[in-house]
Structure 1
Amino acid sequence: MSQIARASAQTNLQNYITQILHTELNTDACSSPSPNIMCLRFGSVHVIVVNCPEIACEILRKNDAIFASRPLTFASDSFSFGYKASTLSPYGEQWKKMRRVLSSEILSTAMERRLHARRAEEADHLIRFVYNQCNTTANNSVDVRHVARHFCGNIIRRLTFSKRYFVEPPLGSAGASPGPDEMDHVDAVFTVLNYLYSFCVSDYFPMLRGLDLDGHEKVVHGVMTTINRLHDPIIKERIHEWSTLHKHGVKREVRDFLDVLVSLEDSEGQPLLSLEEIKAQTAELMFPIVNPSNAVEWALAEIMNKPQVMEKAMSELNTVVGKERLVQESDIPRLNYLKSCIREAFRTRPYHPFNIPHVAMKDATLSDYFIPKDSHVIISRVGLGRNPNTWDVPLEFQPERHLSGSSNIVLTEPDLRFMSFGTGRRGCPGVSLGSSVTMMLFARLLQGFTWTKLPGVQTIELKESTTNLALSEPLILQAEPRLPVHLYVSVSS
């Protein structure tokens, strides 16, 4: 291997690998290349870290079938209700079953079209919320992180449960701030992503499970308590509703993702999914809200320090959409510069340094290196996106690098020079939906408001958090409405 290291059981996996691989990527000099592939030993497990596009393509394209499984960890077991859903489950019949449900039913093109109106309504709610913030906060200040995360949370709750809030606010207050349950829900989802495959000593030394030496298990139990408290009443009520309809021979169209999960039947007319499978897949549907909100916060933070980039983005919006109507999903194919800004955010600022691990189901060879069966293989998102062998001035935010002359820029990267939604048989089946949500959030924020720094702030500090790669502090900016008043009034009524 390019580098072999042994880490103690107390070492944090994420920080340890990031320190080895990417110290030079976070300096101005980038004087020496990072290793393309590295092996670490945790207990009896080989953990293989990949840092370059060519080897990543070997894993997710050429040898996709070999690396199609997932590790068995305390957190992934808990979050998937015993591996009952799709994304976190090891390769096998249960994964195949839930993947078919997810791809063919939940995230199908037909379902995406059917739920378009709900996404459009949430984009209008976004404009209303920020507009109200402009009129009610000191200095017209807006917490962009709060706005982005709860916009994504509202969308996925609306698509999954047909409700924005767990307890609906009074009529006429749809532009109000999220309540305590919504705050808990979004916090729980982000905690899931922080702990899902972070280092837990008992994952590599199973005899220590239950001792909770690193506090990992306590956090996981707390998150699952929150998710169950908020999801279970809705799921059980919906199962009862569909059972009653079935008993009386009444049929109705599905209205959301939960309806799909509850209403599916097997060849004998019995429910296809158990309660635990429905709970697991419902929880898993919440995880992707992290990607759009983090990318948009970083993109806006970056362009606040680059007036020329902001000017180009606004010029494109003015040309493609204008100021007499609000940007819609149908405009996205022509917003290539905005998409290039988001691609740069995905490239340089992923929320998590690594993709979800793959497990080798048999011995394999990657770039002439022997990979033993059962090895955990993780691809470094930072290593790909900031690789000086792939990108010129890799730490510089330059949307123009993605403008290759294509008539329709996309947010995915087929050559794996960075990772956005993943690829291969364990890749994200919701690329289209995720791209739409990301772009509508970004485009509505830019089109609807003029953004400026707070008084006394000369430059936005682009510092990463110590626990993930989000901004270390929430992005807070001043916002001024820039469109005709009737557009804001029309979505506020």
Structure 2
Amino acid sequence: MDPETLRELLVWGITWAVLYVGFRYVLNSRKKRKLPPGPSGWPLVGSLPLLGPMPHVTLYNLAKKHGPILYLKLGTSAMVVASSPETAKAFLKTLDLNFSNRPGNAGATYLAYDSQDMVWAPYGPRWKMLRKVCNLHLLGGKALDDWQPVREAEMGHMLRLILQHSSRRSNPVVNIPEMLNLSMANMLGQIILSKRVFATEGAEANEFKDMVVELMTSAGLFNIGDFIPSLAWMDLQGIQRNMKKLHKRFDALLTRMIQEHQSSSHLRRSQDFLDIIMSHRENADGDGGRLTDVHIKSLLLNLFTAGTDTSSSIIEWAVAELIHNPEIAKRAQREMDTVIGRERKLKESDIANLPYLVAICKETFRKHPSTPLSLPRVADQDCLVDGYFIPKDTKLMVNVWGIGRDPDLWEKPLEFNPDRFLTPKGSKIDPRGNDFELIPFGAGRRICAGTRMGIKLVEYILGSLIHSFNWDLPPNQKQLNMDEAFGLALQKAVPFVATPSPRLALHVY
């Protein structure tokens, strides 16, 4: 063997030896590092079979056994679940940047235009640009103040429609989620598209609501293909097939919205939100770059689904709790009668003088958070939390529902008790992402973009429903079903209908 060949073999041998030793060192050092506790799981599938149909409840019970930082192997993936305010703060505030991205999954791929939207997009220039535009023109403080007249007008439509239902002799009931979905879609439609999306309740509005609920439900499912990628092509649960069908329906709806909006541009006197977003299609300047039609449709998908379903589910749960606890409803009405009277409707400016109403909203956020498990994030790098080693690429979820049910945090957590937010300590708790015992919209840089809007809508719409009507079960229903149905948004398992009766002077409506 000539010296040159021998030298090359020696170099390659040393290189592979160094790589082998380095690999073994990293592997052994990781083994020595302490992972958070959790269930051992099964071969291949890990803990996936343990989660069941109500994973937020399962994870809550596992946290009671293993502790507030829970580690699970789900197929070939690893996931850590934070189940206390302290651990949630560690992940979402202290290590916020390391967990600023979301893992890819079937929902992001097949529903959200392959992560081209604002919810699933990678943390970077385009995501920042979308957040900035939404805050400036739709979801930020000044923008919300600017479209306050739209909320007031649409609230008037809703109250008159409920009044019509209450006057029917044969069936004086209201389908609460359908009514809320109609109103919120129209509120958003007027700001985004300069039009009410649905002229009145009916088949088209109900179909839209069903599509939104289906999206939120399917996107919240634990899909086997997301955790065992080699099996994704088989679509064992049929989730991907259903997502593709639903995506086609949403894409057709959004395409029609954009086309109708463009054809009516000559009728608008001022720019609406879609006009502003569309202007970024031609403007490639700035950090965010040019937006495509896919980016625009995916953003509209975010706004019209999360913007209608999350707040409406909170209000639905709140009305159900008030029927279940009529003394709380009466106390809220007494407060409103003192502050507002019965000769006018509630205004948003009244809410600052209605602490019990605000406490009811906070208590609903606690007991029935719209998103029971936070949308997943993923670790960009290895990190340590409370002495536990969290490997790179570990997925993160925060059990918001579980934190709200923790008896170490909340006295009698299963009771619906707004008074807990009227104490000196409780009154200072804010659901906007800084007080980690109450984070219904998440926290950190990936907090829900519509946090301000969601809180404002819940307080205003729920307050208007309480002030304007008494609510009761339908005449043929003796008991209220309070069972949950899991999804990205926490739905009631049984569609909620209630009987309203007006309590204001009729000319007010």
Calculate the TM-score normalised by the size of structure 1. 0.87
Residues in 2 aligned to 1:251 and 1:326: alpha-carbon distance in whole angstroms? 30
Aligned to 2:312: 293
Which whole-Å CA distance do the structure 1 matches of 2:149 and 2:128 have between them? Answer: 31
Partner SS state of residue 84, structure 1:
coil
Figure out how many residues of one structure are paired with residues of the other and give that number. Answer: 466
Q: Superposition pairs for residues 393-408 of structure 1, below 5 Å?
A: 393-405=412-424
Matched, 1:329 2:348: yes
Residue 467 of structure 2: aligned partner: 447
Please name the residue that 1:138 is paired with: 170
CA RMSD, Structure 1 to Structure 2 (Å): 2.8
Q: CA deviation at 1:393?
A: 0.7
Shift of the 86–466 alpha-carbon distance from structure 1 to 2, 3 Å rule, reads: closer
State the match for 2:324 in structure 1. 305
Distance 2:82 2:420 in 1: 24
Rg larger in structure: 2
The letter of the residue matching 1:307 is: P
Asked whether the 8 Å contact 2:126–2:289 carries over to 1, the reply is no
Alignment of 1:193-342 (within 5 A): 193-239=216-262, 253-255=270-272, 257-264=273-280, 266=283, 272-286=290-304, 287-342=306-361
Q: Contact 1:462–1:471 at 8 Å: present in 2 too?
A: yes
For 1:424-455, what per-residue CA distance to the aligned partner results, in whole angstroms no more than 9, with x for missing partners? Answer: 10012322221221122211111111122333
User: Relative to structure 1, is the Cα distance of residues 349 and 180 closer, same or farther in structure 2, using a 3 angstrom cutoff?
Assistant: same
Which structure has greater helix proportion? 2
Q: Which residue of 1 aligns with 2:453?
A: 433
Provide the residue aligned with 2:210 in structure 1. 187
- Structure 2 matches for 1:99-118, cutoff 5 A? 99-118=131-150
Pairwise CA distance, 1:408: 8.4
Select between 349-358 and 57-66 the one with higher mean Cα deviation: 349-358
| Whole-angstrom distance in 2 between the partners of 1:414 and 1:46 | 27
Change (3 A) 1:306 1:429: same
SS at structure 2 position matched to 1:327: coil
- Matched with 2:129 is 97
- The match for 2:74 is 42
Q: How much has 1:162 moved relative to structure 2?
A: 2.3
Distance of aligned partners of 1:443 and 1:16 in 2 relative to their CA distance in 1, 3 Å threshold: closer
CA distance in 1, matches of 2:162, 2:460: 14
Alpha-carbon distance in 1 for matches of 2:324, 2:140 = 39
Unaligned runs of 5+ in 1: 26-31, 169-175, 489-493
Shift of 1:202: 1.5
Query: Is 59-68 or 201-210 further displaced after alignment?
Result: 201-210
Name the TM-score, length of structure 2 as normaliser: 0.84
The alpha-carbon distance between structure 1 residues 81 and 486, as it changes in their structure 2 partners (threshold 3 A), is: same
Contact (CA 8 Å) 2:140, 2:452: kept in 1 or not?
Answer: no
Distance 1:318 1:42, change over 3 A: same
Instruction: From the superposition, tell whether residues 38 and 408 of structure 1 become closer, same or farther in structure 2 (CA, over 3 Å).
Output: closer
Q: Which moved further from structure 2: 128-137 or 16-25?
A: 16-25
**What letter matches 2:166 in structure 1?**
C
Q: Match for 1:372 among 381, 387, 391? A: 391
Percent identity over the alignment is 27
Write out per-residue CA displacement over residues 278-329 of structure 1, whole angstroms, 9 at most, x where no aligned residue. Answer: 1111111121322221111111111222232112110111122111111111
Letter in structure 1 aligned against 2:271: V
When residues 219 and 267 of structure 1 are mapped into structure 2, their CA distance, relative to the original with a 3 A threshold, is closer
- Contact 2:433–2:447 (Cα < 8 Å) also in 1: no
2:277 corresponds to which letter in structure 1? L
2:441 paired with 1:421:
yes
- TM-superposed deviation, 1:98: 2.2
Per the alignment, residue 28 of structure 1 pairs with none
Distance 1:325 1:12, change over 3 A: farther
Distance 1:16 1:296 in 2: 21
Change (3 A) 1:120 1:241: same
Structure 2 counterpart of 1:225, one-letter code: K
Partner SS for 1:41: strand
**C-alpha separation in 2, matches of 1:55 and 1:410:** 18
CA contact (8 A) 2:69 2:82 kept: yes
